[in-house]
Amino acid sequence: MTKKHPVNEKSKQEQLEQFKTDDRNQALTTNQGLKLSEDEFSLKAGERGPTLMEDFHFREKMTHFDHERIPERIVHARGFAAHGEFELYDSLSEYTKANFLQNPSVKTPVFVRFSTVAGSKGSAETVRDARGFATKFYTEEGNYDLVGNNIPVFFIQDAIKFPDLIHAVKPEPHNEMPQAASAHDTFWDFVANNQESAHMVMWSMSDRAIPRSLRMMEGFGVHTFRLVNAEGKANFVKFHWKPVLGTHSLVWDEAQTISGKDPDFHRRDLWESIENGDYPEYELGLQIIAEEDEFKFDFDILDPTKLWPEEDIPVKLVGKMTLNRNVDNVFAETEQVAFHPGHVVPGIDFSNDPLLQGRLFSYTDTQLIRLGGPNFHELPINRPVCPFHNNQRDGYGRQTINKGPVSYHRNSLAANTPSPVPESEGGYSHYQEKVEGRKVRSRSESFKDHFSQATLFWNSMSDPEKEHIISAFSFELGKVKSKSVQQQVVDMFANVSTVLAKQVAQAIGATPPSGEDAPVTKSSPALSQEQTIKKPNTRKVAVIVANDFSGDLPQVLNSLKQQGIQPEIVSTTLQNVKGTDGSELEVQHTFLTSDSVLFDAVYVVGSSSADEKFRKEALTFAQEAFEHFKPIGATDEGVKWLKAAGLDSSPGVVTGDSTRFTDEFIEAVSAHRHWNRHVI
Ligand code: HDE
């Protein structure tokens, strides 16, 4: 008898509810339910005597505490997550039979964990690094995990090199420095001696590696996967997430300052946006290549160091993901979630990308040590929303109470159940790709071009983006002690651009390459952030205000809010500030608790009664924002202050009366940064 899996009616949220507990207003008990009369003093032989072995309450409490930590992820340890839902625009039945990609009226619950790669669990969030972008879709056919990054290519072509790459980028083992940074000898030694890394290194040295917000970065599945439809027809696919707010970055100096001022910058931004109802949104995009076109390109589509230029293979937007609920408990959800590229559903299949093939082993293996055994799928956050049944049994932390004597297949005592489901009834069946070949340890010839797409990336950058890349290389290599490694890297990147290599060589005292770059034959505008979506929504503006501000201010602030901008008042103390017309504004930050780097823009209002100290503090904010190319606004006394400091009449600096000011300032904020400003 064949049984179809019944779909569980419970939503993921309802499913999680049954595991939640609210300890408020409850009696304090041991884990065995024994009510406790005291919780501050251990059991002693006499008030000043030794603690007794008999104190089961002390031992239970302390033992649990001693075991509170689990090993952090070997990579992507620093992460933050949120719940949400995915909605499809139109049925994708032409390409895939995946149930959650058929019906636009179905909302699929998702859980997304963002992360940095190299740093430890407590490291700062605005470091230069790739960002993980892992999505778990709780579909009615089981969990589907799209475990991607915010960079579309990877450093290496074969999974067997992953331990080497990670050993090289992690803190050096003899002194465990530097934390969460690639600016050190072993990373760059790896790069120079593994030249397949060239393309991803270009991305890592670009603004992509210092995103302004997790809400403002793209996501990529990186590998080539397969979509398979109900007729069994397959197409190759690459997955993209496109942020609705556009792709925006910090500048390096700012990113480093934020690391100290607010190491939680990205999680705070995500958390607050969701709490405020400004739900982060990303559109799902697909690039599709027909199986018969596999060899039509000047790169191998199985090579994970190559992207598919969007101008050649357009990204079709097929649905939208909205993150609308923060977690209740970071450990239970964010820390215990277990992603795996091998968690697929019927209609989604793999390619032979050797990096992907290796990942299909690694993720379950790592959960066994990290989550302490083979039952991590039973943790509330990892449970599918559909039922699951098989003959697996026992193991650490088993929660399921399987009934009956039968735990084997094939059997007659339980009518041969649980039983496999035929493909026609939803059973997963692997795509029957024809495979032939000799057993070899080697790299395909078609994987050997390491520089064409690295050059394509460079050629597609705007001038400010190129400057940032040159500075990033100069910073990173400037921290490398080995002259030999520095020189090897300069020589390697001369294969990408001699302009780049010469400037970096100049900055770090290496020998510059000779020769000139070949004329540019191809660029891909989609790779530059210059053309991205520019909106004022959710941009944070520091509004610097003192007592006796002019009466127009509340109206200006309302106009900004109507455009989705978030003005926050900064002043000397947290006392309300009062306007000349008697109006009052609540102060959110002081000069002591905040800094311009924590905002997208600065608006200096001041007032005529503000003292010299206030004026100086306001100008420090404005000056720093100016150097980070941020929009600056000024009205009232603020205009005089900016003029006196020479900060006016530069691109992105808006000063004036309130009617004209509001529109111009909103426009300046939407632009994100003003690169054509002369900063010394
Ligand atoms: Fe991962 N990766 N990875 N990776 N990866 C892990 O799994 C691994 C790679 C990615 O928020 C680990 O559960 C190998 C590419 C993300 O929980 C581990 C290789 C991409 C996350 C692992 C890669 C990723 C991980 C560590 C080379 C982008 C965080 C903890 C073959 C497409 C998921 C864990 C989360 C995590 C192995 C390369 C993305 C050790 C062997 C390429 C987003 O299993």
pLDDT grade, residue 545 (50/70/90)? very high
Exposure letters 30-65 (e unless 16+ CB within 10 A, then b): eeeeeeeeeeeeeeeeeeeeeeeeeeebbeebeeee
Whether residue 577 has its Cβ less than 6 Å from ligand 1 = no
Q: Are strands 281-290 and 219-220 parallel, antiparallel or unpaired?
A: unpaired
Predicted local confidence at residue 108, as pLDDT: 98
Ligand 1 pocket mutation pick from 115, 153, 204, 339 by most atoms within 8 angstroms of CB: 339
Predicted local confidence at residue 9, as pLDDT: 53
Whether residue 359 has its Cβ less than 6 Å from ligand 1 = yes
CA of 75 from ligand 1 middle (Å) equals: 7
Mean pLDDT of the chain: 96
Question: 176: phi > 0 → left, psi -120 to 50 → alpha, else beta; which?
Answer: left
465-496 pLDDT per residue, tens:
999 999 999 999 999 999 999 999 999 999 99
Ligand 1 pocket mutation pick from 72, 74, 76 by most atoms within 8 angstroms of CB: 76
Q: How far apart are CA 168 and CA 164, in angstroms?
A: 6
Predicted local confidence at residue 3, as pLDDT: 44
* Tokens 């008898």, located at residue: 1
Which H or E element spans position 283? strand 281-290
Atom 14 in ligand 1: which residue has the minimum CA distance? 359
pLDDT grade, residue 657 (50/70/90)? confident
Predicted local confidence at residue 5, as pLDDT: 55
Predicted local confidence at residue 2, as pLDDT: 40
3-state secondary structure 300-364: CCCCCCCCCCCCCCCCEEEEEEEEEEECCCCHHHHHCCCCCCCCCCCCEEECCCHHHHHHHHHHH
pLDDT grade, residue 526 (50/70/90)? very high
Q: Per the residue annotation, which of 83, 99, 143, 149 is the catalytic one?
A: 149
Evaluate if residue 658 carries a pLDDT over 80.
no
Which H or E element spans position 109? strand 107-116
Q: Decide if 149 is catalytic.
A: yes
CA of 360 from ligand 1 middle (Å) equals: 10
Whether residue 348 has its Cβ less than 6 Å from ligand 1 = no
Atom 39 in ligand 1: which residue has the minimum CA distance? 148
Atom 16 in ligand 1: which residue has the minimum CA distance? 132
Range 318-333 average pLDDT: 98
Range 444-453 average pLDDT: 98
227-275 pLDDT per residue, tens:
999 999 999 999 999 999 999 999 999 999 999 999 999 999 999 999 9
Q: Decide if 76 is catalytic.
A: yes
Q: Per the residue annotation, which of 57, 76, 184, 223 is the catalytic one?
A: 76
Whether residue 495 has its Cβ less than 6 Å from ligand 1 = no
Whether residue 200 has its Cβ less than 6 Å from ligand 1 = no
Q: How far apart are CA 185 and CA 201, in angstroms?
A: 15
604-644 pLDDT per residue, tens:
998 999 999 999 999 999 999 999 999 999 999 999 999 99
CA of 72 from ligand 1 middle (Å) equals: 13
DSSP codes joined into one string, 480-547: ---HHHHHHHHHHHTTT-HHHHHHHHHHHTPPPP-S-PPPP----GGG-GGGS----TT-EEEEEE-S
Contact 562, 669 (CB under 8 A): no
Whether residue 84 has its Cβ less than 6 Å from ligand 1 = no
